[in-house]
Amino acid sequence: MELLTEAPPIGRVLRASTTGFECGTRSSDLDEPRFGAFVQVRRRNDPTLIIGLIYAIRVDDDPLVRQLIMANNINAATMRDQRENRMVPVEISVITVGCMEDGVPIYALPPRPPLSLDPVYLCDDATLRAFTQRFDFFRLVLQAANVPGDELLAAALRSAAAVRPRSEQTPYLIQAGRCLAQLLGADLPRLNHVLRLIRPA
């Protein structure tokens, strides 16, 4: 799958390892990234497309924000200037759940992490459908340390279902639930919790 170059990146890599990475952006660019979204990044001069899931978004403060919080009244113009014009840093944490080579999903950690300043994009619908046609990435999410695995996997499945035709969405989630039952059969409270999170409305 090729990157959709006409779509702007959601950020650029700050630091990375084979298991995940952090990317930075500005608060004014925080409309698209969301918890559980699939992202893609490609190392320079490397055909492997690394696929990850956003599991945390942190908005850092700065001295001006601290001063504004202490003010009794903040006028709308000051608030707008702070949010739209100032460079408030945002860090997005991503867990790597696989990669793609020549459009073929590989449900394993990539051989090399992305490099600093590589652009990070949201996965386009075609890439997302292709990567989530199988559920082999579940184990990487459920076993990840310091990651809210249950909630993250549920959010990821809702994203994956949303890019499919409406008639396929419920069957897709049912199939995912059966896979989860195999993985979490020995932990029924956890299994029931995840199934409630992905239950179609």
Q: What is the pLDDT of residues 64-91, one digit of tens each?
A: 666 666 666 776 666 666 656 555 678 9
| Number of Cβ within a 10 Å radius of residue 48 | 17
Which strand (E) or helix (H) includes residue 53? strand 49-59
Query: Which neighbouring-strand residues pair with 98?
Result: 51
pLDDT score, position 64:
63
Cβ atoms of 131 and 158 within 8 Å: the answer is no
- Please give the Cα distance from 144 to 180 (Å, whole number): 16
Cβ atoms of 23 and 10 within 8 Å: the answer is yes
% of the chain beyond a pLDDT of 90: 66
Cβ atoms of 57 and 71 within 8 Å: the answer is no
Q: What is the pLDDT of residues 45-71, one digit of tens each?
A: 888 999 999 999 998 766 666 666 666
Question: Tokens in use for 13?
Answer: 């890599």
How sure is the predictor about 44, in pLDDT bands with cuts at 50, 70 and 90? confident
Question: Tokens in use for 146?
Answer: 């310091």
- Please give the Cα distance from 173 to 194 (Å, whole number): 11
pLDDT score, position 46:
84
Q: Tell whether the torsion through CA atoms of 145, 48, 134 and 2 is positive or negative.
A: positive
Question: Tokens in use for 194?
Answer: 């995840």
